[in-house]
Structure 1
Amino acid sequence: MSETLPTVLDIEASGFGRGSYPIEIGLARADGSSCAFLIQPLDEWTHWDPKAELLHGIPRERLIREGYPVRQVACWLNDEMEGIDKAYSDSWGYDNTWLSLLFHHAGMLPHFRLEALRILLNEAQQAMWSDTKEAIITECGIHRHRAGEDARLLQLTYQRTCKLIEND
């Protein structure tokens, strides 16, 4: 593909709705590499949904033990996004809220914007998105609901839908 891959961000959380907070942030970079960081919950972040834990498989105790402090994760994100003005998310409403919460509690501002991934997709890509994504999950054996792998999955799905459109 001749164009650069979009930078994709994905966030796993303690649950959905009021009181939820980010627990892992993953990033798929424009070069196709990906990474993720667990986030140590703040004392006031007490919401925990066992159903969310069943999806992502990250126990709260692990976050307390292995997670990085909120400010460190915010600094890491700003460093990673140096010179890149946008990252994309497939769950913009949730991810933008959790990203804002992270930066608010870090006492910082993000140096980038989070945009909805769908704005990059044309109608044909949107129509084939779900089937393409499922095919990639099967082919690559991707473990869903971990932020780094989910970000990379979205990027691979974007890349393949672009190639399918080009070949039509």
Structure 2
Amino acid sequence: MTVPIIIDFEASGFGQGSYPIEVGFSGRHGEGWCSLIRPEDDWTHWDLDAARLHGIAREILIERGNTALFVAEQLNFFLGGRTVYTDGWGQDYVWMARLFDSAQITPKFKLIDLFEIIEDDQLPNWDATKDQIMKELCVARHRASSDARVLQLTWLRTYDEAKKQAV
């Protein structure tokens, strides 16, 4: 079994005009990486509900965020040649594409839906396991790197439990 690399994007909101504001991943050995993303000049959509959920103000992104080019280059450096999984493929793919389009470079990794590697016998315990892991890690905010780590640990724990039950 290979531990999946999990990536998560947080965004300015949902729907037309939204853009990535943070990206983070949890690597095969649990190592994490995360970056705020400074909005491009034409990235103007801002949803106050999303901002409250993430606890990130637009002003913080402008002040502390990295450029789209820097973030895209870092993702390629760390993830190049690998398959990376997300639980929100439809939205995360759009936000990743917007990031890389703005950076004018191509992703060097493959983004796949996490549910392609979740087996049926993992599903019955998925939500309860995820909730338990969030409590264990004391995850209080909805942020990219912590969300990625929670998903990775949920996959690992439910995979191990399913394999034990199959024996």
Interval of TM-score (by shorter of Structure 1 and Structure 2): over 0.9
Of 149, 162, 165, which aligns to 1:165? 162
- Asked whether the equivalents of residues 5 and 32 of structure 1 are also in contact (C-alpha less than 8 Å), the reply is no
2:5 paired with 1:7 = yes
Question: Of residues 119, 122, 135 in structure 2, which corresponds to 1:138?
Answer: 135
- CA positional deviation for 1:43: 0.9
Query: Which of 32, 35, 39 matches 1:34?
Result: 32
Task: Give the match's secondary structure for 1:40.
Answer: coil
Contact 1:10/1:151 (<8 A) preserved = yes
CA distance in 2: counterparts of 1:36 and 1:15, whole angstroms: 19
Q: Report the alpha carbon displacement of residue 127 of structure 1 after superposing the two structures with TM.
A: 2.1
Give the aligned residue type for 2:71: V
Root-mean-square deviation (CA, aligned residues, Å) is 0.9
User: In the alignment, what sits opposite 1:101?
Assistant: 98
Contact 1:143 1:149 survives alignment (8 Å): no
- Counterpart of 1:161 in structure 2: which amino acid? T
Report deviation, 1:117: 0.2
Structure 2: how far apart are the matches of 1:18 and 1:145?
A: 21
Q: Which residue is equivalent to 2:112?
A: 115
Uncovered stretches (5+) of structure 2, i.e. residues with no partner: none
- TM-score between both structures, scaled by the size of structure 2: 0.96
Match of 2:35, SS state, is strand
Q: Give the CA deviation at 1:138.
A: 1.2
Shift of 1:124: 1.4
- State yes or no: 1:129 paired with 2:126: yes
Q: TM-score, normalised by structure 1?
A: 0.95
Give the length in aligned residue pairs: 165
- Identity of paired residues, percent? 44
- Cα distance in 1 for residues equivalent to 2:62 and 2:32: 23
TM-aligned CA deviation for residue 137 of structure 1 = 0.7
Distance 1:143 1:109 in 2: 34
1:24: how far off? 0.2
Q: 1:21 aligns with which of 14, 19, 22?
A: 19
How far does residue 163 in structure 1 lie from its aligned partner after superposition? Answer: 1.2
Contact 1:8 1:88 in 2 (8 A): yes
Q: Assess if the C-alpha contact under 8 Å between 2:85 and 2:111 holds in 1.
A: yes
Query: CA offsets per residue over residues 16-64 of structure 1, 9 Å max, x none?
Result: 0000000000010011111200000011101000000111000000000
